[in-house]
Amino acid sequence: MITLVIYDITDDRIRNRVAKVCKQHGLSRIQKSAFLGEISSARRKELSVKLRKTLGKEKGNIQIFVICKMDIASREIIGDIEEYEDEEIIIF
C-alpha cells in the first residue's frame, strides 16, 4: 500500500514532530510537507493514530491518502525534488 501524507501546520515544533512520525513509520520525504512510502495497512493505521495524537488540539491539517500501484504509475514530478537531511528520496 502506498501512503501519502501531506500536512499544513504552522507551529514548527508540531510540524517537525509530524515529519518525525512519518519517517519513523517508513515514509520518505518528497516535499517539505509531504511524505510518501509503501507501508502495510496495519502500519498506516498506527501512523494515523500517532499523527492524530501529535496534532492533538493544535491548529493544522494532516491528510493521509492511499494510492494504488496503478495510480502511482501516473505520478508526475515537475521540477527537482530537494534533498532532505539524512533522507532518501523516493521516486517510484
Footprint on this chain of its own copies (rule: CB under 8 A): 4, 6-8, 30-34, 48, 51-52, 55, 58-68, 70-72, 74-82
- 2: β partners: 38, 67
Least distance between its own copies and beta carbon 70 (Å): 7
Positive or negative: CA dihedral 45, 49, 54, 59: positive
Instruction: Calculate the dihedral angle through the C-alpha atoms of 40, 44, 46, 51, rounding to the nearest 10 degrees.
Output: 160
**Closer residue to its own copies (CB): 23 or 60:** 60
Indicate the residue among 77 and 86 with the shorter CB distance to its own copies.
77
| Separation of first and last alpha carbons in the chain | 13
Nearest CB to its own copies, comparing residues 10 and 86: 10
Cell digits for 30? 518528497
